[in-house]
Structures are given as structure tokens and as C-alpha cells.
Amino acid sequence: MPYVMRHTGLFTVVNTFTLRDPARAPEFERSFLGHAAWLRAQDGFDSHQAVLLAECPGVYVNIERWRNPESFQRVRGSSVFQAHGREFHALGEVAVDPSRNVLRAGDGDVSEGAPLVVVEWLTAEGMNLEEFDRAYRAYAAALCHEPGFLHADLSRSLTKPGAYTFVTWWRDADVWRATRRAAPATGAAECAVHLTARQAAGHAR
């Protein structure tokens, strides 16, 4: 895979949705995909990926990227956004983690998902945040040369000191397990499936 590393600095919102009743997942997914389509038409919106945690029914993580925080705040204050938010809160709990993107690496197309998505919640311990960022940039650069690796996205929380969200996309679970041993830090890891890929599978049945 060609080496690709981007230091985007994008304002990133990591949303975790936990449904009170996982049986209402189809209702949530319809609402969320409509919300995502609306977001893509807003000024300042960059991109997003939404995944469902494989072993946590009813728990979704959405990585939402904006060109600057002002664009997000403007859209967040709109009546449409507020109405969508009320729909989500009626179905479950929503945790919002404003963050700053540290890196995106790899050139695999993950817009429609991948065989394996891994979401990791990391905490920088024993090093300052700039050292932590540099260590993960080096790790991501090495991942770009691993067979089976597609893409990586690291964001640093702006409200929880030392907290990061690290998402990786893979063709092969064994390669992920092997490379994770070389990671500068490890935290809670959850395997996931892309919401768009899950919807496509549902439509095919």
C-alpha cells in the first residue's frame, strides 16, 4: 500500500449512541442515516463514519469531522439538528466527545466499510500528549506497510485530558491482532461493522 499520512487538524465529534432497547435498532438506523445525509449538505462538514459495535447490541459510534468548530456549532444550533437530536435522545443515551483529529493514515477506501473495523479508546499515560501523538504517527506509518491494513484515524479529546479515540479498518483480523502488540498504547478495543455496510446487507436479503 502506498504510504499516505494526513495531519488534518479537523474538528472531530465522537458520538456514542446507546439504545435503551436494541430491538429498535432499525428505527434508529433509519433516523441516523437521514441525519447523516442532511449533515453532508451543510457548509463546513467534512466526512463521517458510523459503526455498530459487534459485541455490544445497540451501541453505535460515529466519527464526525468538521473543517472548524464554528461550522459545527452553527449547524448544531439549527432547528433541524435540534429535532434530530430529540429523536436520538428518545431512543437512547448520547455521549458527545469533542476532539481534534491527530492523523488519518492509509489509502484504503473505507467509505462503505471494511471486513473489520476496530474502535479503541486510549489514554496517554507516562508521556506528554505531543510525544503520544508522535508515537502514534510512527505506528500508523508502519501500519501503512502491513498487508490487510486499510485506514487509521486518531482523534484527541478536547474535554477529557489524555483521552483518544483510535479507529482502524482492516481486511484481516489476524493482522490487526499481530500489529496491535506493537502499538505505543492499548486500551479498550471493540470490533465493529459499518452502519452503511450493515444497511446494504439488510437490503440484499
Burial degree of 85 (CB within 10 A; 0-12, 13-18, 19+)? middle
101 bridge partner residues: 155
Helix and strand counts by DSSP (H, E) for the chain: 6, 9
**Model confidence band, residue 196 (pLDDT cutoffs 50, 70, 90):** low
Nearby residues of 140 by Cβ (< 8 Å), 6 or more positions away = 5, 103, 105, 106, 152, 154
Domain 5-204 has CATH 1.20.1530.20: no
Q: What is the pLDDT of residues 138-192, one digit of tens each?
A: 999 999 999 889 999 999 999 999 999 999 999 888 999 999 989 998 888 999 8
**CA-CA-CA-CA torsion sign (196, 185, 157, 94):** positive
- CA 143-45-158 angle, to 5 degrees, is 65
- Residue 108, helix vs strand vs coil: coil
From the list 7, 203, 187, 198, the residue with the least C-alpha distance to 114 is 198
Task: Identify the pLDDT of residue 131.
Answer: 92
What secondary structure, in 3-state letters, does 135-199 show?
HHHHHHHHHCCCCCEEEEEEEEECCCCCEEEEEEEECCHHHHHHHHCCCCCCCEEEEEEEHHHHH
pLDDT on residue 115: 78
CB 156 within 8 A of CB 164: yes
Domain boundaries, the chain: 5-204
pTM (global) more than 0.85: yes
Tell me how far apart the alpha carbons of residues 72 and 68 are, in angstroms, rounded to a whole number. Answer: 7
Tens of pLDDT, residues 48-98: 989 999 989 899 999 999 999 999 999 999 999 999 999 999 999 999 999
